[in-house]
Amino acid sequence: MQLIDSFGREIHSLRVSVTDRCNFRCTYCMPPEGIELLPRAHFLTYEQMTRLVGILARLGVRKVRLTGGEPLLRKDLAELVAMLRPLPGIEDISLTTNGYHLTEYAQALWDAGLRRINVSLDSLDKAHFHAVTRVDAFDRVWQGIEAAIATGFRVKLNAVALKETPMDDMVAFAGLAKSRGIETRFIEFMPLCGQGWEPDKVLPIAMVREAVGRAFRLDPDEIARGSSVAETYRVEGGGRVGFIGSLTEPFCEHCDRVRLGVDGRLQLCLFRDESLELRPFLEHHAPDEEIINYLMSGVKLKAAGHGFRWDDPRNQSRPNIRSIGG
């Protein structure tokens, strides 16, 4: 059995949000204060998450990324990794984190079977990092990255490209690809942060690619992009960089992903409202077949594309990426 939407796209990737809480306040993600949080009583348990991932794996999901909020605020996250790893069909489990608690948990996550981690790091400049995350923690995050690499993880960096970030800062990441072999993926600023989003703040991903390409020769990656959100390039002298242009270079046609919120809502697209409420099925101990039937028909609601428009008034009020699972 395979989850397949109305446009023939097969669903193979799942993002699982394990919390909507975060210890950072990145300017592009949330306001400094006044954040509405889900009641903890609405959180799925790890057993419930594992059951749903197991069912989705029966329907063709192969890759799971744990995210949030900040997933490493869950002290026992390694337990969830250990629960997901043996599920038949799941081939790849990864984590996206701000890296603040990585030094503490790298070994436990490795022992649980995790092998890939993406760390969000928007600047290699400490002051700019502080300004963007609103937390003075560059050194600590960098230590976390080093600890993860030393443990054996394949580590990539995520950097949101903002107009306010000096281009030299972004170019420096390509230098890191060359000197350390660490891949950075530049992400276009999306309207998933409420009032803080303005069209003028978006730095089109092509401009980042051009700036990096002026400093380093970039050759398109020979690895087929497939359903990957990033368009990757080999950096002259070693390493890779990736570019994710959700707004100006959308990749919806090849989308193979859905997102499970910590409250059990399966979101079919980051930018759209269509979602499937799975928590009631879990609370009523519905049999797997009932959930499978709901998923197989519900996935047909997945829209052809995100339908983003620059002048859409909803850009200021879309659900936060933190609550959907980034």
* H or E segment to which residue 161 belongs: strand 154-161
Q: Is position 30 an interface residue for ligand SF4 (rule: CB under 6 A)?
A: yes
Residue 52: enclosing H or E segment and its boundaries? helix 46-58
The least distance separating ligand SAM from the CB of residue 325, rounded to whole angstroms, comes to 7
Q: What's the alpha-carbon Rg for the chain, to the nearest Å? A: 19
Q: Are 119 and 146 in contact (CB under 8 A)?
A: no
Tokens 């204060």 sit at which residue? Answer: 33
Closest to ligand SF4 by CB, 119 vs 147, is: 119
Pairing of strands 265-267, 257-260: antiparallel
271/276 Cα distance (integer angstroms): 15
H or E element, residue 53: helix 46-58
Q: Which is nearer to ligand SF4, 87 or 170 (CB)?
A: 170
Is residue 73 near ligand SF4 by the rule CB under 6 A?
A: no
Residue closer to ligand SAM (CB basis): 10 or 306: 306
Distance CA 76, CA 108 (A): 9
By a kind-dependent CB cut-off of 5 to 8 A, residue 192 interacts, out of ligand SAM, ligand SF4, none, with ligand SAM
Which residue of this chain has its Cβ atom nearest to ligand SAM in the complex? 326
| Partner from ligand SF4, ligand SAM, none contacting 30, C-beta within 5 to 8 A by type | ligand SF4
d(CA 9, CA 252): 10
Q: Which token pair is 126? A: 């400490």
State the nearest-atom distance from the C-beta of 180 to ligand SF4, in Å: 22
Q: For ligand SF4, which is the closer residue by CB, 26 or 299?
A: 26
C-beta of 225: minimal distance to ligand SAM in Å? 19
Using CB under 6 A as the binding rule, whether residue 26 contacts ligand SF4 is answered as: yes
Cα distances from 224 to residues 186, 206, 257, 282, in angstroms, run 19, 20, 18, 38
* Strands laid side by side in the 63-67 sheet: 218-220, 231-235, 240-244, 183-188, 154-161, 116-120, 92-97, 63-67, 13-17, 257-260, 265-267, 275-277
Comparison of 134 and 225: residue with beta carbon closer to ligand SF4: 134
DSSP state of 196: G
* DSSP-derived pairing of the beta strands 183-188 and 265-267: unpaired
Cβ neighbors of 57 (< 8 A, separation 6 or more) are: 87, 88, 89, 90
- Answer yes or no whether residue 259 interacts with ligand SF4 by CB under 6 A: no
Name the residue nearer to ligand SAM (CB basis): 190 or 203: 190
Of 3, 29, 137, 324, which lies in the binding site for ligand SF4, with binding defined by CB under 6 A? 29
Q: Which does 158 bind (CB under 5 to 8 A by kind): ligand SF4, ligand SAM, none?
A: ligand SAM
Q: Does 147 bind ligand SF4 (CB under 6 A)?
A: no
Contact residues toward ligand SAM (CB under 6 A) are 22, 28-29, 67-68, 70, 96-98, 120, 158, 160, 187, 189-190, 192-193, 321-322, 326
**21 lies in the binding site for ligand SF4 (CB under 6 A):** no
CB of 72 to ligand SAM, least distance (A): 8
Q: Does 120 bind ligand SF4 (CB under 6 A)?
A: yes
Measured CA to CA, the distance from residue 308 to residue 253 in angstroms comes to: 14
Q: What is the closest distance, in whole angstroms, from the C-beta atom of residue 96 to ligand SAM in the complex?
A: 4
Q: Which of 25, 130, 201, 279 binds ligand SF4 (CB under 6 A)?
A: 25
Binding partner of residue 67 among ligand SAM, ligand SF4, none, CB cut-off 5 to 8 Å per kind = ligand SAM
Sites of contact with ligand SF4 (CB under 6 A): 22, 24-26, 29-30, 68-70, 98, 120, 322
